[in-house]
C-alpha cells in the first residue's frame, strides 16, 4: 500500500474553537449547510447551522447487519465515519417532480419546473462518498444525455471533505482505492486531530473556492510535527481496514461466475428488501409515475429511486425478466463490480460498506465476492 | 465544487431537458388487427420533421397515464409524420388505444441504435420476423426499397399466429407483387382459405435463396423465436457478425439514466435495441440476465 501524505503547500491549521467560523463563512457566502447529525440513533445528513449540531463525541459501531452509536470521552466532531444515508439524496433526490402538464383543448401543455438554484455546502464528505459523487457526475452529467436536475444541483455545490482517521467497521475503501484520504473532488479537506487534549483540523484546499474561503478564516501554518501526526493517523486508518475486495481483478473473475451455484446460497439469505440499493451512494436507478389530479386538468411526472431488487423493475408485457431473488442479487452485485466497468470505465462500488451494515441479514459483499472468486 | 468535466460538457447542458415530452396530434388511426393499431402523428404547429434511423424507437406518453417505448414503424423518407404501431398489452397501450383523432400524445426520441443500413449495402438481406415484430422492420423495408439498387437479394420471412394475425396486409401484398423482393409467409395455425405455409417462421430459413457468406440478417420477434432464428441462420452458415436482433426491456427514460433496461453490461435503450449478435451472444442465452 502506498504511503498517504499531505501536500507540502497550502495546508493550514484551524483550531477547534474556530470551527464555527468555517460554517459561518460558508453561510455568509450564501450556502445552505448540510452535515451529519444524530437522529433516531443514527447519523443522518441534514441542514445544520452550528457546530454543536454535529455528532460531538459520538462514534459509530458498524458490523454486518448492525449499527450502534457510542458516546466517547473525546469530543470529536467527525468521530463517526459515514451516515446511514449517502449524500446522493441532495443531488439526485429520492423523489422529484420532473414536469407538469395542463390540459389544452384536446391536447396538453408541458411545464418545466423552475431550476434548483440553492447553493449547498456538504460538510464532512468522506473520500468514498467523493468517489461516489464523481461516479454520478460521470453517469448523470457527462454522457450523451444529461440529467438536468442533477446538473443544476451539482453546479452550486461546495464540498468540505473529512479524511478518515478511523475506519468504520464495515469499510473497505483502501482496497477500492477510494480512501481513506480525499485526493480530489473537494473544495476543502479536513483531517481532524485530537491529540494530548489538543483538538484542531489540518485544512487542505482543493479548489480556488476552497482557497478563497480559507483566506477568510483565522488559520495558521502547521508545524511539521502536526503534519506528521496527521499522516500517521491516515496511514493507520488505511491499514486498519479488515475487509477487502481485489478491485483490480474482481471484474474479470466475477464475470465468469454468472452460473455459479453460490448465487443460490446468497439468495437463501437475501430478503430482496432493497436496503443495499437505498443506502448505496452510487445506485442511480429511478422509476417514473405519471398521474393526474381529480379534475384531469393537471398531470405530472414524478420520479423516484428504484431498486433492482423489486420484481417490477424488469417487468415487460408477459412478465418480469428477473423473477428469482438469485437473479436480482446477482444483477445488483455484477452491475456494481463487473458491468459498471464496461459501462462507465470505473467500479460501481466505492467501498463505503453501507450495504453490509444496513443489510438486515448481514450479507457482506466483500465476503460473497471472495466466496465466488477465490478457489479453496 | 464544480468539476472540470462538468463544465467541459456545457454544450450538452444547453440541450433541452431530454425528459420533457413534445405533444403531437393524432392525425389518423389505423386499426391493424384486433388488438393492434397504428397512430399517425403530426405536430400541432407546422414544424414537422422527424428524422430517424430504421429500428429506432420513441417514448410515447399518454396524458396522465404513463410512457412506453414504441418502435417507429413508418417510412423514414416521409419525415413529416411519425407512425407507431402498437399492440394493446398494458395500462399505457390500453389507454393509447382509446385516444381519438385530434387527441395529443407526448413524444420523446428517437432513441437507440437502429438496423445496420450501411453495413447491409451490396449484401443479400434476410428479414426474419414474427407477429408485431414486423413493425420495427417496416421502416427498414421501406429504406431498402427506396435504395433498391444498393442491395442484393431481399428475402422477407414473416410468421403470424393465424392468417388473421398477419400485420400490414396491404404492404405485404404490394411487396409480394414486386419482382425484386422475395417474400415467404407462414402461420402457426391455418384457418379458412389459407393455402400457404404452416409452421414456425424459422423453418423457412433453410429453403430461402440468399448467400449466407454475403448477407445481413435482421431478426425481430419474441426472444424465443430470435433464439431459434439465430440457430437456423448459423446452420445456413451465416456468421454471427452478420446477424442483427432487436431486443426489448423495461424502459423508464430511454436515454441510459434510469437503469431499467440493462442487459448485462449494455443498456438496451442506447446500445440497442438493435444489436449485432456477435456482441451479445454470451449474454443473449443467459436466463434472467
Q: pLDDT tens digits for B163-179?
A: 999 999 999 999 999 99
Chain B nearest-CA distance from A207, in A, is: 8
Convert the pLDDT of each residue in A252-286 to its tens digit.
999 999 999 999 999 999 999 999 999 999 999 99
Spell out which residues of chain B touch residue A318, defining contact as CB-CB under 8 Å: 89
What pLDDT is attached to residue B6? 43
Spell out which residues of chain A touch residue B10, defining contact as CB-CB under 8 Å: none
What pLDDT is attached to residue B9? 44
CA dist., res. A214 & res. B165, Å (int): 73
Spell out which residues of chain B touch residue A326, defining contact as CB-CB under 8 Å: 288
Domain boundary among A219, A239, A259: A239
Residue contact A143–B256, C-beta within 8 A = yes
pLDDT at B22 over 60: yes
What pLDDT is attached to residue A312? 96
The three cell numbers locating residue A357: 451494515
CA dist., res. A245 & res. A370, Å (int): 8
Q: Same domain for A83 and A176? A: yes
Which phi and psi (to 5°) does residue B5 adopt?
A: -60, -40
pLDDT at B203 over 70: yes
**B199-218 per-residue burial string, b: 16 or more CB within 10 A, e: under 16:** ebbbebbeebebebeebbbb
CA dist., res. B111 & res. B108, Å (int): 8
List chain B domain ranges.
16-111, 124-246
- B252 has a chain A CB within 8 A of its CB: yes
Q: Same domain for A135 and A210? A: yes
Give the domain range for residue A164.
Answer: 12-239
pLDDT band at B10 (very low <50, low <70, confident <90, very high): very low
- A318 has a chain B CB within 8 A of its CB: yes
Kindly report the CA angle at B45 between B42 and B46, in degrees rounded to 5? 80
The three cell numbers locating residue A132: 461516489
Instruction: Report the pLDDT averaged over residues A317-321.
Output: 92
- A88 has a chain B CB within 8 A of its CB: no
Q: Same domain for A222 and A259? A: no
Task: List, in order, residues 6 or more apart from A194 with CB less than 8 Å away.
Answer: A74, A75, A76
- A206 has a chain B CB within 8 A of its CB: yes
Q: Same domain for A81 and A125? A: yes
What pLDDT is attached to residue A106? 86
pLDDT at B3 over 80: no
Residue contact A144–B12, C-beta within 8 A = yes
Residue contact B20–A343, C-beta within 8 A = no
What pLDDT is attached to residue B14? 64
pLDDT at A247 over 70: yes
CA dist., res. A360 & res. A83, Å (int): 17
What pLDDT is attached to residue B44? 75
Q: Which of A147, A290, A315 sits opposite B66 (nearest CB)?
A: A290
Task: Count how many domains chain A has.
Answer: 2
pLDDT at B7 over 50: no
The second-level CATH assignment, the architecture, of B16-111 is Beta Barrel (2.40)
Residue in chain A nearest B25 by alpha carbon: A107
Going by CATH, does the domain composed of B124-246 fall within 3.40.50.80? yes
Q: Same domain for A232 and A341? A: no
The three cell numbers locating residue B35: 388488438
Residue contact A142–B9, C-beta within 8 A = yes
The three cell numbers locating residue A110: 408541458
Taking only residues 113 to 172 of chain A, the set having a beta carbon closer than 8 angstroms to any beta carbon of chain B reads 134, 137-148, 151, 154-155, 157-159
Q: Give the DSSP letter string of A107-173.
A: EEEEEPPPP----EEEEEE-HHHHHHHHHHHHHHHSSSS--HHHHHHHHTEEEEEE--SS--TT--H
CA dist., res. B177 & res. B156, Å (int): 13
User: What does pLDDT average to over chain A?
Assistant: 95
Q: Same domain for A283 and A339? A: yes
Convert the pLDDT of each residue in A62-94 to its tens digit.
999 999 999 999 999 999 999 899 999 999 999
pLDDT band at B2 (very low <50, low <70, confident <90, very high): very low
In a mutational test of the B interface, the residue from A102, A104, A123, A145 whose CB has the highest number of chain B CBs within 10 Å is: A145
Q: Same domain for A111 and A135? A: yes
In a mutational test of the A interface, the residue from B19, B65, B91, B285 whose CB has the highest number of chain A CBs within 10 Å is: B19
Amino acid at each position: 500500500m502506498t504511503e498517504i501524505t499531505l501536500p507540502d503547500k497550502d495546508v493550514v491549521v484551524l483550531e477547534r474553537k474556530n470551527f464555527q467560523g468555517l460554517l459561518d463563512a460558508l453561510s455568509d457566502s450564501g450556502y445552505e449547510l448540510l452535515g451529519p447529525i444524530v437522529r433516531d440513533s443514527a447519523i443522518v445528513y441534514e441542514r445544520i447551522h452550528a457546530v454543536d449540531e454535529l455528532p460531538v463525541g459520538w462514534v459509530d459501531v458498524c458490523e454486518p447487519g448492525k449499527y450502534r452509536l457510542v458516546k466517547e470521552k473525546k469530543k470529536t466532531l467527525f468521530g463517526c465515519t459515514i451516515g446511514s444515508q449517502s449524500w446522493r439524496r441532495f443531488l439526485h433526490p429520492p423523489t422529484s417532480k420532473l414536469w407538469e402538464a395542463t390540459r389544452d383543448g384536446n391536447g396538453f401543455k408541458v411545464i418545466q419546473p423552475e431550476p434548483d438554484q440553492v447553493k449547498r455546502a456538504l460538510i464532512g464528505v468522506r473520500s468514498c462518498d467523493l468517489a461516489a459523487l464523481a461516479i454520478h457526475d460521470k453517469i448523470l452529467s457527462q454522457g450523451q444525455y444529461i440529467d438536468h436536475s442533477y446538473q443544476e444541483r451539482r453546479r452550486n455545490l461546495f464540498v468540505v471533505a473529512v479524511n478518515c482517521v478511523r475506519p468504520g467497521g464495515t469499510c473497505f475503501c483502501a482496497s477500492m482505492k477510494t480512501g481513506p484520504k480525499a485526493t480530489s473532488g473537494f473544495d476543502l479537506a479536513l483531517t481532524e486531530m485530537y491529540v494530548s487534549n489538543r483538538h484542531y483540523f489540518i485544512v487542505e484546499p482543493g479548489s480556488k473556492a476552497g482557497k478563497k474561503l480559507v483566506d477568510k478564516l483565522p488559520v495558521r501554518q502547521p508545524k511539521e510535527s502536526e503534519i506528521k501526526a496527521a499522516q500517521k493517523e491516515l496511514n493507520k486508518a488505511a491499514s486498519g481496514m479488515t475487509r477487502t475486495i481485489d478491485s483490480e481483478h474482481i471484474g474479470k473473475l466475477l464475470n465468469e461466475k454468472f452460473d455459479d451455484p453460490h448465487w443460490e446460497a446468497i439468495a437463501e439469505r437475501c430478503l430482496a428488501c432493497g436496503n443495499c440499493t437505498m443506502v448505496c451512494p452510487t445506485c442511480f436507478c429511478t422509476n417514473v409515475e405519471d398521474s393526474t389530479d381529480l379534475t384531469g386538468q393537471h398531470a405530472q411526472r414524478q420520479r423516484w429511486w428504484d431498486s433492482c431488487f423489486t420484481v417490477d423493475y424488469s417487468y415487460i408485457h408477459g412478465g418480469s425478466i428477473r423473477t428469482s431473488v438469485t437473479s436480482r442479487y446477482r444483477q445488483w452485485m455484477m452491475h456494481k463490480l463487473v458491468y459498471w466497468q464496461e459501462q462507465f470505465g470505473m467500479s460501481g462500488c466505492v467501498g463505503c460498506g453501507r450495504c453490509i451494515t444496513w443489510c438486515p441479514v448481514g450479507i457482506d459483499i466483500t465476503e460473497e465476492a471472495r466466496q465466488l472468486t477465490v478457489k479453496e | 465544487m464544480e468539476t472540470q468535466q462538468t463544465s467541459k460538457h456545457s454544450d450538452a447542458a444547453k440541450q433541452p431537458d431530454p425528459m420533457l415530452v413534445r405533444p403531437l396530434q393524432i392525425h389518423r388511426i389505423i386499426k391493424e388487427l384486433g388488438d393492434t393499431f397504428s397512430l399517425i402523428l403530426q405536430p400541432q404547429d407546422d414544424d414537422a420533421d422527424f428524422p430517424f434511423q430504421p429500428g429506432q424507437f420513441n417514448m410515447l406518453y399518454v396524458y396522465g397515464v404513463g410512457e412506453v417505448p414504441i418502435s417507429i414503424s413508418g417510412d423514414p423518407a416521409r419525415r413529416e409524420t411519425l407512425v407507431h404501431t402498437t399492440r394493446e398489452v398494458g395500462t399505457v397501450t390500453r389507454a393509447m388505444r382509446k385516444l381519438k383523432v385530434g387527441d395529443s400524445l407526448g413524444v420523446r426520441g428517437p432513441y437507440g441504435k437502429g438496423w445496420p443500413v450501411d453495413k447491409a449495402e451490396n449484401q443479400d438481406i434476410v428479414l426474419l420476423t414474427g407477429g408485431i415484430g414486423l413493425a420495427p422492420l417496416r421502416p427498414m423495408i421501406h429504406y431498402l426499397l427506396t435504395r433498391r439498387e444498393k442491395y442484393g437479394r431481399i428475402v422477407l420471412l414473416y410468421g403470424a399466429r393465424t392468417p388473421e394475425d398477419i400485420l400490414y396486409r396491404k404492404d405485404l401484398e404490394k411487396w409480394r407483387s414486386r419482382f425484386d423482393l422475395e417474400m415467404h409467409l407462414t402461420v402457426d395455425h391455418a384457418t379458412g382459405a389459407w393455402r400457404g405455409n404452416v409452421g414456425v417462421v424459422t423453418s423457412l430459413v433453410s429453403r430461402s435463396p440468399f448467400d449466407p457468406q454475403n448477407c445481413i440478417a435482421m431478426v425481430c420477434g419474441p426472444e424465443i423465436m430470435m433464439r431459434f432464428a439465430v440457430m437456423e441462420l448459423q446452420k445456413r452458415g451465416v456468421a454471427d457478425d452478420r446477424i442483427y436482433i432487436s431486443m426489448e426491456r423495461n424502459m423508464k427514460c430511454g436515454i441510459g439514466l434510469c437503469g431499467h433496461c440493462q442487459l448485462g453490461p449494455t443498456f438496451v435503450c442506447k446500445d440497442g435495441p438493435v444489436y449485432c449478435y456477435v456482441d451479445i451472444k454470451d449474454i443473449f442465452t443467459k436466463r434472467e440476465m
